């Protein structure tokens, strides 16, 4: 017959209860009970502070056990905080014990709730209330210390336990979070590829998967994984908590500038999807910044607009004087400059360029090898399916379904192998072209990038040569204007003005003035390449003929039209 209920509780699943149970057995025996008199309630993972489901169930179990066993008139606790860490619950349980005439023995602090005649011990009742308050304060202090400790560890880049570390990092032998050599290379690769503007998260995930690259624990790379990597501020040194820097610090893996460019490219993708705008490749996204607030610009079908100005409610009016510019006007300006620089770049290609192409070729060979491995696995799977069908373990319908899927996959990877082979041949030809005289190289490459439908290639050239561009509102000679400043990676800076008077806008006269020798003069579209033939002549090319070119491909008799 059970006469006393003994309650043992731990806050987490990991904490052991054996020592508590041993102490409580000795305590109950000292109170005159035998081991066979004890009814045990042992609960692990019952958080009294959070009052989680297990804790609520424990309180309900205490009450039901006592009410369903009339012989149990006593309850023993190892510590008052085993019953709860919230003063209101402790007081509620005390009153419940008194109403049901249950004697309560507490080991720490030493308390007995009822007198021998069943009346309430007034001293214990006061002490119970006092200790309930102390338990609450003690709990708050414990968790405050834990928070301070975690914050201190976080600021020192120490691991606080819990879930596994972010991808790209590991915990060293001293408990510090440091970049993982292999994983951090993949993080850098994802950022370097995405910032080129060639990929969406989905396409980049497919590209990396085709190379046979895996994430942690040999898992396939998914677009969700890529998106998570691209949005995590840990890679630039801190975790982002509601757009505010938190105390968690990390060793940066990615440069701040690269991260900002990636962020704006991603935001521009989202902006286009949600507003159902055109899928036109915008040259300024990832390059153009606001002179007022420093934020990057995003593009709709007509204008470049400051991201913070566009999202005023989100950033609480962070940008108050952002300029805007037509996408076609800015795209012409920046392509004008980038293509001019690119001509000089083509004239100076050397062995370093060959090394870069060899690296691209190595990636393609890696992808080809991965596809070949998959083809071998598919061949083995086809054999197994045939054997299973022969053994009668597959129906004819199941066999045809599996066989059809395997054949389709086989054809897909064979086509991929052909694509990779074609790209490798193209790279080999490019390397051979680099070794050609500059005259032939510039002629072929320049005509290729002038292709009207090749905006993505143009964007790659712009990102290759342009470091940053700024847009701001100014007043020049009493006229409201937009000031455009473009800085190239070679250190050259270009400044333009676009007047924005109402009459000019009505007449669609979107005049742009370029700064030369400290003065602003009218900028003619293509002025930086207006004398392109003289640049080409310096490379030994007298004239470029455009075979089978449409009339609108050439704007002037002696000039190439680069309209996009």
Q: What are the pLDDT digits (tens) for 403-427?
A: 878 877 877 777 677 677 767 877 7
What is the rounded CA–CA span in Å between residue 28 and residue 39?
11
What is the rounded CA–CA span in Å between residue 457 and residue 435?
22
In a domain, 279, yes or no: no
Each residue of 500-549: pLDDT tens digit?
A: 655 544 444 455 666 666 666 666 554 444 444 444 444 443 433 323 33
What is the rounded CA–CA span in Å between residue 512 and residue 502?
15
| Same-domain pairing of 244 and 198 | yes
Contacts with 111 (C-beta within 8 Å, 6 or more apart), sequence order:
80, 104, 105, 124, 127, 128, 131
CATH number of the domain that 109 lies in? 3.40.50.1390
In a domain, 550, yes or no: no
CATH number of the domain that 268 lies in? 3.90.1750.20
What is the rounded CA–CA span in Å between residue 522 and residue 514?
6
In a domain, 553, yes or no: no
Which pTM value belongs to this model? Answer: 0.42
| Same-domain pairing of 320 and 460 | yes
Task: Dig out the tokens for 296 from the structure.
Answer: 């990057």
| Same-domain pairing of 8 and 122 | yes
More confident residue, 134 or 333: 333
Task: Centre a 10 Å sphere on the Cβ of residue 33 and count the other Cβ atoms it contains.
Answer: 19
What is the rounded CA–CA span in Å between residue 303 and residue 385?
57
In a domain, 335, yes or no: no
| Contact in structure between 62 and 5 (CB atoms under 8 Å) | yes
141-152 CB burial, b ≥16 within 10 A, e <16: eeeeeeeeebee
Classify residue 523 by its DSSP letter.
Answer: P
What residues form DSSP beta bridges with 40? 6
472-504 CB burial, b ≥16 within 10 A, e <16: beeeeeeeebbbbbbbbeeeeebebbbbbeeee
In a domain, 523, yes or no: yes
| Same-domain pairing of 38 and 62 | yes
What is the rounded CA–CA span in Å between residue 480 and residue 302?
20
Classify residue 252 by its DSSP letter.
Answer: -
For 188, the domain range is: 169-272
Each residue of 75-115: pLDDT tens digit?
A: 999 888 888 878 788 888 989 999 999 999 998 878 898 99
| Same-domain pairing of 191 and 236 | yes
Each residue of 158-174: pLDDT tens digit?
A: 555 544 578 888 887 77
| Same-domain pairing of 386 and 428 | yes
Given 440, 470, 487, which residue is the final one in a domain? 440
In a domain, 342, yes or no: no
Each residue of 273-290: pLDDT tens digit?
A: 443 334 567 888 888 888
Cα separations in angstroms, 49 against 82, 118, 390: 11, 31, 62
| Same-domain pairing of 137 and 9 | yes
| Same-domain pairing of 371 and 509 | no
| Same-domain pairing of 383 and 513 | no
| Same-domain pairing of 73 and 22 | yes
| Contact in structure between 459 and 197 (CB atoms under 8 Å) | yes
Given 440, 473, 492, which residue is the final one in a domain? 440
In a domain, 402, yes or no: yes
What is the rounded CA–CA span in Å between residue 156 and residue 167?
19
Mean pLDDT of 486-513: 69
Residues in the chain: 564
| Same-domain pairing of 187 and 260 | yes
Q: Which DSSP string corresponds to 66-103? A: HHH-TT--EEEEEEGGGT-SSHHHHHHHHHHHHHTT-E
Task: Centre a 10 Å sphere on the Cβ of residue 251 and count the other Cβ atoms it contains.
Answer: 15
Given 395, 410, 440, which residue is the final one in a domain? 440
| Same-domain pairing of 200 and 257 | yes
Q: Report the number of distinct structural domains present in the chain.
A: 4
């Amino acid at each position: 017959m059970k006469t006393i209920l003994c309650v043992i509780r731990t806050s987490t699943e990991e904490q052991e209860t054996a020592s508590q149970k041993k102490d409580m057995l000795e305590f109950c025996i000292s109170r005159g009970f035998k081991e066979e008199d004890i009814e045990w309630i042992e609960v692990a993972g019952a958080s009294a502070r959070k009052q989680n489901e297990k804790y609520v169930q424990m309180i309900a179990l205490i009450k039901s056990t006592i009410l369903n066993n009339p012989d149990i008139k006593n309850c023993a606790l190892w510590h008052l905080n085993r019953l709860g860490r919230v003063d209101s619950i402790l007081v509620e349980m005390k009153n419940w014990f008194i109403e049901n005439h249950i004697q309560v023995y507490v080991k720490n602090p030493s308390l007995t709730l009822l007198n021998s005649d069943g009346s309430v011990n007034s001293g214990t009742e006061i002490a119970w209330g006092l200790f309930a308050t102390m338990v609450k304060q003690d709990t708050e202090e414990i968790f405050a210390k834990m928070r301070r400790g975690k914050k201190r560890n976080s600021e020192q880049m120490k691991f606080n336990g819990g879930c596994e570390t972010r991808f790209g990092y590991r915990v060293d032998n001293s408990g510090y979070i440091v970049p993982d050599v292999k994983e951090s290379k993949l993080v850098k690769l994802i950022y370097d590829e995405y910032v080129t503007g060639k990929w969406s998260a989905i396409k980049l995930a497919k590209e990396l998967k085709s190379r046979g690259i895996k994430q942690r624990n040999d898992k396939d790379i998914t677009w969700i994984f890529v998106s998570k990597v691209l949005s995590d501020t840990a890679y630039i040194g801190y975790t982002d908590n509601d757009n505010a820097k938190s105390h968690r610090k990390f060793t940066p893996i990615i440069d701040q500038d690269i991260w900002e460019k990636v962020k704006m490219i991603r935001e521009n993708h989202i902006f286009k999807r949600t507003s159902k705008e055109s899928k036109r490749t915008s040259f300024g996204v990832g390059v153009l910044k606001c002179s007022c607030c420093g934020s990057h610009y995003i593009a709709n079908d007509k204008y470049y607009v400051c991201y913070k100005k566009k999202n005023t409610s989100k950033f609480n009016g962070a940008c108050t004087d952002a300029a805007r510019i037509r996408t076609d006007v800015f795209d012409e300006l920046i392509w004008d400059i980038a293509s001019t620089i690119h001509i000089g770049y083509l004239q100076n290609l050397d062995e370093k360029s060959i090394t870069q192409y060899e690296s691209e070729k190595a990636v393609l060979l890696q992808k080809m090898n991965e596809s070949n491995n998959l083809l071998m696995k598919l061949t083995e799977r086809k054999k197994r399916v045939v054997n299973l069908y022969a053994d009668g373990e597959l129906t004819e319908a199941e066999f045809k379904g599996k066989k059809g899927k395997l054949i389709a996959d086989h054809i897909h990877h064979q086509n991929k192998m052909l694509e990779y082979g074609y790209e490798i041949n193209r790279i080999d030809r490019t390397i051979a072209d680099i070794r050609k005289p500059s005259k032939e190289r510039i002629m072929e490459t320049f005509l290729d990038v002038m292709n009207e439908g090749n905006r993505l290639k143009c964007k790659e050239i712009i990102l290759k040569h342009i470091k940053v561009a700024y847009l701001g509102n100014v007043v020049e000679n009493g006229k409201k204007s937009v000031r455009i400043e473009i800085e190239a990676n070679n250190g050259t800076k270009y400044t333009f003005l676009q007047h924005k008077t109402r009459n000019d806008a009505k007449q669609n006269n979107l005049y742009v003035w370029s700064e030369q020798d400290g003065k602003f003069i009218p900028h003619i579209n293509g002025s930086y390449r207006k004398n392109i033939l003289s640049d080409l002549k310096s490379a030994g090319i007298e004239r470029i003929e455009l075979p089978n070119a449409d009339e609108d491909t050439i704007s002037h008799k002696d000039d190439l039209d680069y309209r996009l």
